[in-house]
Amino acid sequence: MILNKRKYALAFIICASTLQQVNAQVSQTSLAQALLKQLHGCMHVSVIQYKGTRQINKYEFKQNHLQTDSAQWQILLNERTVVNHEVIDINADFILKEGRAYSTAPAVSFDFSEWSRKNYVMVPASMYNGNRYHSIGDGYNPAYPKDMYYNPGVPLTISNNPRLSVETDKSSLVELQTGNAATPAMCFFSPAENKGFIVLTTQQTKFGNSGLTIAENAKQDSCNFTISAPAVRKLAAGFGDFHNSGDQAPNWKSGDKMTLHLRLYVFDAKSIPDLLKKFMRVRKDLTGPNHPRNQLPMSQLLAAGTSICSNNFIKVPAGSYYKPENNDDFQLGWVSGMMNSYPMLALNNETERNRVAAELDFVVSKLQGKSGYFYGGIKANGELLPEKMHPDFPAMQAMVRKNCDALLWMMKHLMLFKAQSYGNMIKPEWETAAKKLAAAFAWTWHQHGDFGQYIVPETGEIAVFNSTAGAIAPAGLAIASDYFKQPGWLQVAKDAANFYYRRDVVKQGLTGGDCGDISMDANSESAFGFLESLMALYYYTIIRLIRPGCKRRKYRLLFVQPGLFLTILCFHQIARLENLGVIWRVLYGRVFRINMLLPAFALRQVIISLSSIGLPEICFMRL
């Protein structure tokens, strides 16, 4: 009898110990909870019941079992430390053991007290700095209000997008799905704690895309980040507006199971770039590398693209040009005119070369204003096209971004003509137009310390300030500085690049505002435009300074990593490249050969960094 009691007691102790271990998975003693404490955070696991898209019940797991009115749930929470207790993998298995559950979505939330509205919040491709900015409009391409014009103090203003409240004492709710994010992740940086937070998940479960929800209270001193399966949003984001989502939570029956995969990071970070750099390193850790499908040979793509562009060359009353749109009108820059002509010139074909020359004649004679800036477009009948106009300000405006593109690509055209030994075809009018445009940018910078978003080509006035619309201007100025022997323009390029980097990347964690159909929203085109500028500055301030015959010494090379963040590297070892030359093809229109003492590791890093982001073509050949 005593023996049996001892057996029962031992069994009870074992069961209690096991239960305690399971309970710890959703208690304050779990690995995730310990990690989150560094940010005054905790993790909660729940199932949420909906009526349509309206939440009617939320049941939180306090241990590994949960009983509701109609169902018995089980949660199996498996946590694993990945790296130095700073990274935790979490697999949450939700199992309906008995009963039924209607319109129910499991969720894992990370709740943070001692929150601050100063925290930088990011959902890649959807939210940067929490989109905590003034917003306008309720649809595609909203008009600007009067107070945004000719106002150097205009705040950064976005369209009607998912966002945290720019107003104090107001709560916020951001409802997204994983398909809204370039990587299914939510992140923030806390300047008060000098910490960063990243949670990664997979895009889908058996129920489809998961939900990414951020909720901030009215006092803006607490915030939670929730991942649910599936997404159940009341409103879904459109292009500058919202509409009923039509989301629906699934019905569950006994035996149904679903797993949420998460990876949690809490790490030291002193700045927004620290968070962004960390994100760039880990963003594929859970989803794995991309697996592109190589279905179309590049030779066929080149042939098709060449044929389409060549057949789009037209002669209309306005002039002769490669048609960049679905209609016969011409748009300058912004992935259109004077950009589609460059690869046609690179074909080194007499017919296309003469067509490119005709387009240059047309652009410089029909589109340049008195100030040196260009108008953004022209109809086939010769009528100029205004941009972002307001009835109170009749002066015709143009996008700064289009003028940035015009300067960069005009310079690249001129240099490619020379590189192909057709410099004799360059007309003085082309060079004069490019020089006037570069001078206009330099004048604007000296006047305002900003390029603005919209410009008046007739007078050179900035009509709308702010944004990173001038992100690619430093690239064009750097090239023009070398081509026209104007060193002051290179200084403007460096100053402008530093300005954009510090104001937009470091302080706001975004670049934006250089598309004609958005407001000042964060966008990718300003990011790759800025990258182009940094690479141009790298070339003209670093690569051009390396000369043959140098001896053992240290080089300080400034180059750009894919996350747009400048990294200073100091290379100590110099290696002779025996019988090896490097052809760097058409880097800003130049073809040159390196055959000298060069830091071998530096060369490798330059080649890797440039080829990985698809900039110049790099090949090796025996001399």
Residue pLDDT, tens place only, 243-257: 999 999 999 999 999
With contact defined as beta carbons under 8 Å apart, do 454 and 395 qualify? no
pTM: 0.83
Mean pLDDT rounded to a whole number for the chain: 85
Q: What is the pLDDT of residue 16?
A: 37
| Four-residue CA torsion sign, 184, 524, 347, 337 | positive
Read off the pLDDT band of 542 (50, 70, 90). confident
State which H helix or E strand residue 581 sits in: strand 580-587
Task: Pull the structure tokens for residue 78.
Answer: 């498996």
Closest of 325, 262, 354 to residue 77, by C-alpha: 262
In this structure, how many other beta carbons lie within 10 angstroms of the beta carbon of residue 197?
26
- Let me know if 449 is exposed, middle or buried by CB neighbors in 10 A (0-12, 13-18, 19+): exposed
Q: What is the pLDDT of residue 546?
A: 56
Question: What are 402-414's pLDDT values in tens digits?
Answer: 999 999 999 999 9
User: Is 106 a residue whose pLDDT tops 70?
Assistant: yes
Q: What is the pLDDT of residue 2?
A: 45
| Bigger pLDDT: 377 vs 569 | 377
Calculate mean pLDDT across residues 74-102. 93
Q: What is the DSSP letter of 373?
A: P
User: Is 422 a residue whose pLDDT tops 90?
Assistant: yes
User: Is 3 a residue whose pLDDT tops 80?
Assistant: no
With contact defined as beta carbons under 8 Å apart, do 59 and 74 qualify? no
The region of weakest confidence among 6-10, 39-43, 261-265 is: 6-10
Closest of 428, 306, 314 to residue 361, by C-alpha: 428
Calculate mean pLDDT across residues 420-445. 98
Percent of the chain surpassing pLDDT 90: 77
Is the domain covering 2-126+162-282 a CATH 2.60.120 domain?
no
Q: Name the H helices within 172-232.
A: none
Closest of 260, 255, 186 to residue 229, by C-alpha: 260
CATH fold of 298-541 reads: Glycosyltransferase (1.50.10)
Maximum distance among all Cα pairs of the chain, rounded to whole angstroms: 110
Calculate mean pLDDT across residues 356-380. 98
Read off the pLDDT band of 316 (50, 70, 90). very high
- Boundaries of every domain in the chain: 2-126+162-282, 298-541, 547-622
How far apart are alpha carbons 90 and 282 in whole angstroms?
16
How far apart are alpha carbons 595 and 623 in whole angstroms?
9
